[in-house]
Structures are given as C-alpha cells and as structure tokens.
Structure 1
Amino acid sequence: MTGRNMKLTIESMTYGADGLAHADNGKAVFVQGAVAGDTVEAEIVQDGKSFMRARATEILEPSPDRIQPPCPFVGICGGCSWGNLSRTAQLAAKEQNLRSTLERIGKFTPEQVDELVQPIRHTKDDWGYRNKIELEPTVVNGRVRLGMHGVDPSKIVTVDSCPLFDKRFPKALKSVVGALNYLSGSHDLGLERVGIRASRRTKALEVALWTPTGSFPRSQVSRVLADAAHPTSIVRVMSKGEKKARRVSKVEMLAGEGSWTENIADGQMRLSAPSFFQVNTKGAEILIDLVMEALDPQEDELAVDLYCGAGTFTLPLARRCDFVAAVEAYGPAVRDLRRNLEINKLDNVDVIGGDAVREFPDQDADVLVVDPPRAGLAPEAIDLIASTSARDVAYVSCDPATLARDLKRFVEEGTFSPVKITPVDLFPQTFHCETVVHLKRN
C-alpha cells in the first residue's frame, strides 16, 4: 500500500539513481534519495507485485560513504544522481553492478566473472571533467534561464553554474545566460536547447543554439554572444519533425570556426555540434588505450571500426594499421570523420556511410572494434562479426545490460569468447559506466 512509511537499510546502489533495500517480507524496495549504507525513513510511493518504490524522507543513520557534495542541486537536478556518494563507493558500486549484470543477464558464473572482470579504470577528476553540457531554456519571472532536467524529468532545474563542467570555464554559462536574456528582450529566439563545449587543451569554446528552422536574428545573436562569452565558435543547429523524433536539418555557422576542436591521443578532432564525442576527454583516452591494448594492431593489418562516429578509434587505428574500414550511419559524424582524417593527414581509411549491418565492409578484418549505441548489437551484427577472420574484437559498451546480452550471444555463437572485461568510470557522480571487452577468436 502506498503512502505508508518504512524503516529501511540500503544494501547497494542500483544501475540508476536509487538505493536498493528489502522490506521485511523480502520484497525489493528502490529508494530515491538514499545511498548504500544509509538507514532511512522512507515513504512508499509505488507498491508492485515484485518490488516497491520509495522516497527517503529522513536519513536516520547516514552511511559512512555519504558525503556533502559541492553542488546544492544534488538530489534535485538529475545530472548528479550519485553526488552524495563517495568516489570510492561509486567505483565499487559500478564494478559490482557490472559483475551482477554479467551473471544475471549474461549467464556467466561467479567464477567466470572473477576471472574476466578487471579493476575499474578511472581518471582523477571527481568534478569538472565534462567538456560539454546541454541545457534546456525556460523563462522564470520574465527572464531566460538555463537548466537541466530534474529528478522529476518533467521539471527543469535552473542553474547558474555546474561543477561537472570544465572548471577552467567557470563564467561561460553565466555569460551565455546573460547574453540570451539581453537578446530575448527584443527577439524570439525559439530556443529548444543550448549546448556549450569547452576544451582545456585547445582552449576552444563553442556555443550551440538548437532551434527550429525558420527566421533567426543571426547577426545580433552572434555579436551579443561573442561579446559576452568570447567563444571560438557560435553555431545554430536547426531541427525539424515531431518533438520526440526531431532530426538535425542543418548546422549554420554564426561566428568563429563553426566547430569545436579537441586534442586526444596524439591527434586532433574537429567536431560539429550534433556529433557525439565522449564528454570526458581523459576518460576517452583510457578507452582508446584499452582498445589498442586488446587489438594490438600491426602495420600490415586491416581493421574494421563499426559505429565509428567522428573517429575516436578510427584515427589511432589508422596510425597503426595498413588500412581501416570505418562505418557510421549518422551524417554529421561521417562528415566530421572525413574532415578529421584530412586534418590528421591520414589517407588509409575507407569511410562508409550507413547502417553497420547493411554496410558491413566487404574487406575481411584482422582486428575489429565496435562501439554501438545503448541498444547494443543486433544479432545480425554478431553473425557478421563472426563471419570475419578477425583474430581479436574490442567491444566498447555504454550499457551493461545490452553488453551482457550480446556477450551471451557471442559465447553461444561460438567463434569469439571474452578474455578481459574492463569497466571505465567516465561519468563520476552518476551511475553510468563504460566497459571495454576484449574478445578473442576461439
């Protein structure tokens, strides 16, 4: 029954914002606002057949791993769901979540998991690691404010700064908000989203304004934003379609370079605003190191890079291999990859635009890397990978559940088996975790 209170001790963190406890009857309880080790008074807000959801109303005994975060919005804003938990406890919880998911979904035995899973890798930065933030515009008391989706995703939590964003650009957000307020006094900008990207390595700072197609005060916006925030690039990203399925129709340069530049792994990447790039540059370099370690590509070998994006793994592979076939479906990323190959003076890559299954390279592979979206690999993709003569495969995953499912499929198919699984904490203060798996031909 909902509405009643219950005293609970939090046993662990879920793959999500909640702590996990069990009621006296053994039913699992997912508790919002609690961390592992807390004893809390909690109000039951949902009572299902197999589990309950609750909200912590009072911390009766705080966990030794509970900390006071540097941001007052932790627990309100959805950006730092684990911000009250010590970094040491976060790392342990992420590794444990991966282990339990491999057992539950991947059907690996505890002994196999102990043998396969390596200690979690991470950077030193607990805060200030993000090279990008995206904010939702809203109007509060007649003024434009920028914010993030709250714990309640229907609400926007307005912020003037974010301690997750690169600390070398502390005034960027306030400057952009001030400029947008000035502009909104005389113009309807139609803003849907505002993105800010910053690099401590190249000093690049890009402001991206996401709007519908149509008229837009280009010169005024570029002038005011340039004076306020001094970015190296200002762009407008135009989108169209229904709200839940909007797609980019055009990127318009308003001022500066029209793109954002980052130095990574002995190379340089230039990215347009819609293109994906890991928000933690140092963490991305750990991923690259693990992929290169798994594949150990040789000068005379051919590599295949599926879901290659703008070239995070393609570029280092091209420096070490004879030839790389790189497949990517997202148009802006394909264009960025071609430009990045030119910038880095690499001419041994065949860039293939299209779906990874439909456009699977004709060339056979010696080594292969896959970095699919959260949904993981389609069964057809696993079959195609198995049909190659590749000796080693590196699988980079952002979702432990789909990773475990796919590893189970690889094992059942029989051509490749995982030999090393390494979690990587790219997203401190959140439950998210990347994983790099080394699969070897049997």
Structure 2
Amino acid sequence: MQCHHYDAGRCRSCTLLEVAYPTQVADKERHVRELLEPVLGERAHDVAWLPPVTSAEGGFRNKAKMVVTGSVDAPVIGILGALPFGEAGGVDLTDCPLYPQVLQAAFGPLAALITRARLEPYDLTPSRARVTPRDAARRGELKHLLVTVSPAGELLVRLVLRSQEPVARLRKHLPWLQAELPNLAVLSVNVQPEHKAVLEGELEIVLTERQTLPMTLDGITLHLRPQSFFQTNTDVAAALYRQAREWVDDVAPAGLWDLYCGVGGFALHCAAPGRSVTGIELSAEAVASAEVTRGELASASREGAAAMAGVRFAAGDATAFALGASPDDVPELVIVNPPRRGIGPELAEWLETSSARWVLYSSCNAVTLARDLEHMPSLRPAQARLLDMFPQTRHYEVLTLLTRA
C-alpha cells in the first residue's frame, strides 16, 4: 500500500508499511507461535494451525477516530503532529488510504458542519513559554470526530464535545447534514468534559431518529449503538465469526457462554436450535443492541425462532458472572473475547477448574493470551487461526479452540 502521508513523514501509524504484506502475515503467525510454544511445551506440536485469514491492504477500516484541530473556519481532521516549541499541530488524514472511499467522502460535509455549527476545536496547544501538559490552553468544544461505516455504506457519526452547549446548534443544522450525507444513519454527541487521556465520556445524546447502525455479516444484522464496540475490519470480523461458528458446530455443545459478548457477534452466530446461549457484556448499550438483533432473528423465520429460543443477554462483569454461577449452570463451551489485557488469572483459573469442556478464546493480544494459558494447563489448544484484522501494524487477532485434556 502506498501512502503519501507516510512518505512525507506526516504519519507513521502504519509501522509495517514498508514490509511486503505476505511477510507481515508470516511474521505475525511466527510471533504468536513463538509466544505460545514456551507455555505449551511439547503440546505446541499438537495445535492444528489453519491458514491465516488475510485482509485487503488498504480501504479496510470501518472506523475513523479523528482528532479535530485548526479553527472553526478551517478545521483539520486527522491526528496531532509535532511542531516547534513542543506545540501540537493537526495533520489532515481525511484521505488516509486505510479508509474506504465512502468514509473519506464523509469528511468534507462533516468539516462543513463544524464551521456551520461553530464548533470550536478543543485547543490542547501549550504555550511557548511553558510546555507542560497543564499549561495547555484548554479552550474550545470539539475534541474528536468518530465515524463508523457499515457494509451497506451507512454512517454512524459521533462528535466528542466538552459540553452540551453546542447541541441546539447541531440540531438546527442536522437537516442540512442529512441532505449533504444521505447515508448518515446516526448522529450523536458524546460529552467528555474532563481534560485527560480518555477518548469519550459516559453521556451520549443521539440527535437522529435512528439510534443504531446496522452491520450485516453473513445474513446476521448486528445493531451498533454509539458506545458499542465493533471490530474495525468488517470482512475479517465476518471471517472470525464464521470460523467460530464452524468450530462450535463441530463440537456441538448443548450450551455456551459468550463472555465479553459486545453486540452479540459470537453468541448470535453460534446459536442453534436446542442450544442455550448466554451473552455477558459490561456495556448495557451493547446488550441492548444484541437484544434487538436477537428479536429480529427470532421473528424473521421459523428457523430463526428455533435458534434464538435459547439465547439471552445480560449486562455484567464477565469474571463476576462466571465466579458467581452455580456449577450446575456451567455450559460445555465458553467463548471469551476480552480486551487487550486478556481475561486475567481469576477468570482463567476459574475456567481451569470448571466443568467446561471447551473454551473458544478470541485474542487481540497474544502476549496476554499466552499469560492466560499458563493458568489453564488442562485446557489445551487444539486448533488455532491467525486473522489479520490490522494490516500495516504488528497487531492481529488469533482464534484458539481449547479442549479439556
């Protein structure tokens, strides 16, 4: 992939851009194997590695997380770049080749909205005299612009603001934006008043009639709410769910848990008639999205009703849910899809001593996967597959089916 921003030194986020893509994938698979081998010992030779799932080299990202700098009349949408005297200047990345064309095309109207609604970019620039973070000016309203695109080309746009003050102006200009962006599905405001390295706040104000962005993968339409997590690479995410469903159907458990279930991707893809499925997710927003999808699938057909009959979702902490469950309620299979920190020793040790026969572990950080496996010696990886969710970087997803020894 060629990138003029990288060539000019304006952005170096794609750390592997100069590495041929097949080499990137091979290096990632070698990396995960090297991390797991010390943990598994001789058992490492028993793991059946499927061919890696590769991605398009560019245009694959379904989400843009952009910093907004510049001024009301000339906003800069992109990232922060270093300027003399320790100041932070904006780098325009609206034509980043990682974004599909439909996403790139949205930034022009959104920049115009910033001007029309008089959304002053939040100023983090420190003074030239003193360049410590607490000397930042801390003026303005608009901090970030978050845009997600669905497979159908619809958009979910979130404006991260310092306060609710501009909401009335945004409502006034919403009809104009909808005319300029006919594929806009959801527009919301997230309020993050604090001056700290946290991308968004708790308060979300949806300004459009529609509340969710439909993300259709393999005939299942997941409903993404503004604060819900979704994988950044739609095609590879679809492959991830397909692989999970294939392995789950192969072992055919009577019941399963999907811990860290998000909007229900794994749970809904792995549901089947006669199978009980419980999804647990800390985010109530994500659980509400999963429930919407479950209801739609149940009402769509007789087969859907049968598959969804045993599916339920609940908001809660994954570890607390597992530790608080009755031994009689533990299913044959547990799916875990944790954040980068992994599931941690407490949940891993619970899985080790539980009656679960299989664990399907989806990891975005093989370092913590290896660490968690150390606490589960009787759950041995039988099959594994690398999925290159993040081309041009060292990050990747790995899906592993663990079987009780």
With normalisation by structure 2, the TM-score equals 0.82
C-alpha distance 141-371 of structure 1, shift in aligned 2 (>3 A): closer
**How far is 1:114 from its partner?**
5.1
- Would the aligned equivalents of 2:120 and 2:141 in 1 still touch at CA under 8 Å? no
Question: Matched residue of 1:278: which SS?
Answer: coil
C-alpha distance 309-297 of structure 1, shift in aligned 2 (>3 A): farther
Q: Which residue number corresponds to residue 69 of structure 1?
A: 2
430-439 vs 132-141, greater mean Cα deviation? 132-141
**How far is 1:181 from its partner?**
2.8
Aligned 1:257-272 pairs, distance under 5 A: 257-272=210-225
Q: Which residue number corresponds to residue 14 of structure 2?
A: 80
- Would the aligned equivalents of 2:10 and 2:91 in 1 still touch at CA under 8 Å? yes
- Would the aligned equivalents of 1:179 and 1:228 in 2 still touch at CA under 8 Å? no
Unaligned runs of at least 5 residues, structure 1:
1-67
Structure 2 residue 170 is matched with structure 1 residue 218 = yes
**How far is 1:117 from its partner?**
6.1
401-410 vs 148-157, greater mean Cα deviation? 148-157
CA distance in 1, matches of 2:397, 2:345: 21
CA distance in 2, matches of 1:318, 1:288: 12
Higher RCO, 1 vs 2 (CA within 8 Å, ≥6 residues apart) = 2
Aligned 1:31-430 pairs, distance under 5 A: 69-73=2-6, 76-103=10-37, 106-109=38-41, 112-113=43-44, 115-116=46-47, 118-139=49-70, 143-149=74-80, 156-184=90-118, 190-200=141-151, 202-216=152-166, 217-230=169-182, 231-241=184-194, 243-245=196-198, 248-296=201-249, 301-319=254-272, 322-345=275-298, 346-360=308-322, 361-362=325-326, 363-411=329-377, 414=378, 416-430=379-393
CA distance in 2, matches of 1:185, 1:301: 53
C-alpha distance 321-241 of structure 1, shift in aligned 2 (>3 A): farther
The aligned amino acid for 1:129 is F
- Name the one with the larger helix percent: 2
CA distance in 2, matches of 1:350, 1:142: 49
- Would the aligned equivalents of 1:69 and 1:84 in 2 still touch at CA under 8 Å? no
Q: Which residue number corresponds to residue 439 of structure 1?
A: 402
85-94 vs 337-346, greater mean Cα deviation? 337-346
CA distance in 1, matches of 2:26, 2:91: 29
**How far is 1:304 from its partner?**
0.7
Question: Matched residue of 1:255: which SS?
Answer: coil
Question: Matched residue of 2:243: which SS?
Answer: helix
CA distance in 1, matches of 2:204, 2:371: 37
Question: Matched residue of 2:190: which SS?
Answer: strand
Post-superposition CA distance 1:320-351 (Å, at most 9, x none): 55211211112322222222222322342232
- Pairs aligned (count): 368
Post-superposition CA distance 1:201-256 (Å, at most 9, x none): x3321211112343222323423422333312211122355523576333222125
RMSD between superposed Cα atoms in Å:
2.8
C-alpha distance 150-402 of structure 1, shift in aligned 2 (>3 A): farther
- Name the one with the larger strand percent: 1
CA distance in 2, matches of 1:380, 1:169: 41
**How far is 1:419 from its partner?**
1.5
Unaligned runs of at least 5 residues, structure 2:
123-139, 299-307
**How far is 1:197 from its partner?**
1.1
Aligned residues with identical type, % of pairs: 24
